[in-house]
Structure 1
Amino acid sequence: MATSKDLPPLDVPFFPNVFIKNQFCTKPQRPPKSTDLSGKVAIITGANTGLGYEAGRQMLELKLSHLILAVRSGAKGEAAAAKLRAKYPTARIEVMLLDMSRYDSIQDFARRVDSQLPRLDMVILNAGVFKFKYETVPSTGHEELLQVNYLSTVFLATLLLPVLKSKSPPGTPGRLTIVHAALSLVVPLPTTNGHKTLLGGIDDPKYFVADKQYNLSKVLAQMFAYKLVDYVSADDVIVNLVCPGYVKGTDLGRNVHVLLKPLGAAFGAVFGRNVTDGASTYLDAAFVKGKESHGSFLMSWKVTPYNSFMYTPEGKTTADKLWQETMNELEFAGVSGILESMKKH
């Protein structure tokens, strides 16, 4: 099966056609009934509620042995873990603190994972934010959606790559899935907006529009994945991106203005996918799909093309630029060296 890189770009002139097909014309797919996750260890970020919690529950239903809920609030994480422990008493369900807005928290989390876990099979990077207000992260100075949804996510992904490679069973690649969004397909080619760098232009409050910034923060991960496959072999770690569809009943809109929440609830009631079906896309990406999904974008339970600009010379040049800027941003942690080491077998 072809990867996203190998597919032709989507020829859909009107995005609602993609939305309707994804939401209403695709039958949800469950893991094969024979699936048995006994002995396996999985990490899910942002797993105390919504899709992350439900994905964890479904994996425990398939006899997952050890689930780590990576969360910002210890109290909320323990409350979620207690509910899961009551239902799955034979599984080990652990809470680990992780603040995706802080690089030091991400580094500390990756070190704990490496030192404390003798085995790691799967990681689902589900944590993300959506905000209507422009705000920066004090420790980095970056706009919050850019920071959490892109920079921090790819930082954590990079730090966990060698851990997954070394701690997955011999002959079996580790799995790393980044939660994504179909709205990334409507983003125009990112520009510097008159700044010296792409990241500087994206940080500029003059160009901040909440929904556009969210979509942009997601498409950057596609551009990163496009380059990442040059460093990471699917024999070591299979990395993919997954869109769960528009799902009602999640906590993504927790920062939306209170007056807008009824509108979101009404839209979700009509168009939203339920949490059970949405979370099943995570399982499909994390352990059902094979090496054909490496570096790919999954939507509607199948490999899907990237944003169409990624198939143009301009898109590839911009991806190169973003990659180098990302390496520069994260070089304090030696990310380029980590990625170079992943090339070695």
Structure 2
Amino acid sequence: MKKSLLASVIDQWSVVPPVETADLSGKTVLVVGANVGIGFEASKHFARMQPARLIIACRNEAKGKVALAEIERETGYNGCELWIVDLANFASVTTFSDKFKREGGDLHILVMNAAIVQLVYQPTADGWESVLQVNHLATSLLSLLLIPQLVAAGEKSSTPSRIVIVSSDLHYWITPAKEVEASTTPLETLSNEEWCIPEHMQSRYNESKLLNVLFVRALTDRLQSITPLSAVAVNPGYCYSQLRRDWYKKPTFSFARIAVALNERLLAWTAEQGSRQLVFAAVGGRDNEDNMKAGYVNLGRLIEVADFVLSDEGRKFQNTVWNETIDILNGVSDKIAPIVQDYLVVPDSSIN
């Protein structure tokens, strides 16, 4: 599918469907990146569905406590818990997953919403370019580490568990640079300081959203059809968001700041409207679960992903990125290899 800028503008001017609802009693929901914006609003929607546990995972404890109190105040739900995780630190992610294994029990819904935007090269303590680590590598790491808990929940439930990865329509307008696509280690290429010149960093967030879509599709290829777990990518739409807070730090009359403010005034949804897409991806479409697997949610329905993703070149790149991602994460956690071995399969060669 090719999606034009005009089509996206029309989407932004469309009526946003009402929030999907479901009975979450007895279930555990985990939202990563939940103290502000669409993650916070989605958490309030989940709270109103009365899950047994709602865990909001945030990087900042003080801000997380404020969000926790606000969720309880607005919804009357008192089963919300604050856990701390920093996706810019692999050790924090593995510590979080270890804690979940000990204390979290089964997991029915995982929403991976945390993301950052950086326009300049900034490595993490782990040595990776920060957007690439937070938006793709650490997001993939936590999703994979929690698969045992997700599958266990799905086996005991009448509905499969869900992994929801927040992507974006920006994936329609980005294809890998030739040097990246041709590389056997495209993530290393993308993370290399010499590659991360300002011109390339302008598209880094878009690239990370493409990687989110590729991860969801690659994971689905490797999940057995009988596994009670569905992975879904979702476009929350263009919303008022703290993702763009760095633009507002620019001088008062900077063109970037004016452009962002104008775009938001003309096009942006509220964070609550955007959060409805996350909720649909988490609880919607239960009447046809097979369609939701590897699906891409937009405006409360499934739509086709970008032509590049569906192309032979896209499939090849998807598998290259998957293999490199697993190699990298194997070096981060000794639990990745057993999870891949026990829960995933080698995809049919006919679709490689």
Q: TM-score, normalised by structure 1?
A: 0.88
Shift of 1:207: 4.6
- Of 85-94 and 152-161, the range deviating more from structure 2: 85-94
- Please state if 1:31 is matched with 2:25: no
- Number of the residue aligned with 2:325: 326
- Please state if 1:129 is matched with 2:116: yes
Summarize the Cα distance change of 1:257–1:25 in structure 2 as closer, same or farther, 3 Å threshold.
closer
What CA deviation, in whole Å up to 9, does each residue of 1:260-312 have, x standing for no partner? 44532331111101122110001100011232111122122221222211222
Shift of 1:84: 1.6
What CA deviation, in whole Å up to 9, does each residue of 1:165-204 have, x standing for no partner? 1134334311110111100111113544486521122123
- Please state if 1:204 is matched with 2:192: yes
Q: TM-score, normalised by structure 2?
A: 0.87
- Of 17-26 and 46-55, the range deviating more from structure 2: 17-26
Q: 2:45 aligns with which of 39, 58, 61?
A: 58
Structure 1 gaps of 5+ residues are: 1-9
- Number of the residue aligned with 1:5: none
Summarize the alignment of residues 301-316 of structure 1 with structure 2, pairs less than 5 Å apart.
301-316=300-315
What CA deviation, in whole Å up to 9, does each residue of 1:95-130 have, x standing for no partner? 101000111111111111121123321111010001
- Please state if 1:231 is matched with 2:222: yes
The CA distance in 1 between the partners of 2:302 and 2:224, in whole Å, is 18
- Number of the residue aligned with 2:125: 138
The CA distance in 1 between the partners of 2:304 and 2:123, in whole Å, is 32
Shift of 1:224: 1.9
The CA distance in 1 between the partners of 2:264 and 2:77, in whole Å, is 35
Summarize the Cα distance change of 1:343–1:86 in structure 2 as closer, same or farther, 3 Å threshold.
same
Summarize the Cα distance change of 1:196–1:170 in structure 2 as closer, same or farther, 3 Å threshold.
closer
RMSD value, Cα? 2.1
- Number of the residue aligned with 2:350: none
Q: Secondary structure at the match of 1:223?
A: helix
Q: How many residues align structurally?
A: 329
Shift of 1:78: 0.8
**Kept in 2: contact 1:192–1:199 (CA 8 A):** no
Shift of 1:326: 0.8
**Kept in 1: contact 2:47–2:77 (CA 8 A):** no
**Kept in 1: contact 2:89–2:125 (CA 8 A):** no
Give the residue type in structure 2 aligned to 1:166. A
Summarize the alignment of residues 173-252 of structure 1 with structure 2, pairs less than 5 Å apart.
173-193=160-180, 197-205=185-193, 206-208=195-197, 209-233=200-224, 235-248=227-240, 250-252=241-243
What CA deviation, in whole Å up to 9, does each residue of 1:229-285 have, x standing for no partner? 12224642111010100001x211233351244532331111101122110001100
- Number of the residue aligned with 1:43: 30
**Kept in 2: contact 1:66–1:91 (CA 8 A):** no
The CA distance in 2 between the partners of 1:82 and 1:27, in whole Å, is 28
Give the residue type in structure 1 aligned to 2:101. D
**Kept in 2: contact 1:191–1:198 (CA 8 A):** no
- Number of the residue aligned with 1:298: 297
The CA distance in 1 between the partners of 2:95 and 2:57, in whole Å, is 12
- Number of the residue aligned with 2:277: 281
**Kept in 1: contact 2:41–2:271 (CA 8 A):** yes
Shift of 1:317: 1.4
Summarize the Cα distance change of 1:190–1:304 in structure 2 as closer, same or farther, 3 Å threshold.
farther
Structure 2 gaps of 5+ residues are: 251-255, 346-352
- Of 257-266 and 267-276, the range deviating more from structure 2: 257-266
Sequence identity (%): 24
- Of 166-175 and 212-221, the range deviating more from structure 2: 166-175
Q: 1:92 aligns with which of 79, 88, 95?
A: 79
What CA deviation, in whole Å up to 9, does each residue of 1:56-100 have, x standing for no partner? 111112223321110111111011111222334443111101000
The CA distance in 1 between the partners of 2:177 and 2:109, in whole Å, is 31
